[in-house]
Structure 1
Amino acid sequence: MTKRKYQEEKGARIGGINEDELMDLADLFKMFADSTRIKILVDLSQGEKSVSEICEDLEMNQSAVSHQLKILRNAKLLCARREGKSMIYSLADDHVSTIIAMGKDHIEE
């Protein structure tokens, strides 16, 4: 089988990443393209917090924060658990903190 035929059957790979993975990666980076979402992620990198704590830290209204929290949860960057009547949010895993730290290092170079 020729290389071209193989690529057509398996989908083009760029740097070992197929087209579907490239699209998923682009979607992930879109989550970091909004300053409010970045603020929320940085705030939660300090530890889990309720919506009201996030609102207070960011000096934003609950509607705006809740909207962005939903987007971040759908992107699987955040986890949430119920504590009484409150939702408590945290980063989904250490990868999120690593992406933020690496981005910060990059802009400081």
Structure 2
Amino acid sequence: MVALDGSVLAGLRALDTPTVCNALELVAPERRGYGFTSQPLVCARPDLPSVVAFARTATIRAAHPSNDADVTYARNAYYEYIDAGPKPSIVVIQDLDAEPGYGSF
């Protein structure tokens, strides 16, 4: 992983996501066919400014909750995974339920 200095991060922070994605498609055209979503993304806090961070990804199913022991184990593993990653980080969670939304908050 390459460390980026503050000026690069500040420059990225000034751009919107579509601009960054379009630039990535120009420098890495092989990525045009994957790495995107066809479902809407929901920003929980649109009032906050843009961030440049490492994505820590996860999936969730919440329509049919697991037993308490499984939930406790999974939650602890999730927090350890988030903490172990590079910083700054941001979490992106995909809801795998047939009707997405149960695990949103």
TM-score with structure 1 setting the length: 0.24
Task: Give the number of the structure whose alpha-carbon radius of gyration is greater.
Answer: 1
Q: Which has the higher contact order (CA 8 A, sep 6+)?
A: 2
TM-score with structure 2 setting the length: 0.25
Whichever structure has more helix as a proportion of its residues is: 1
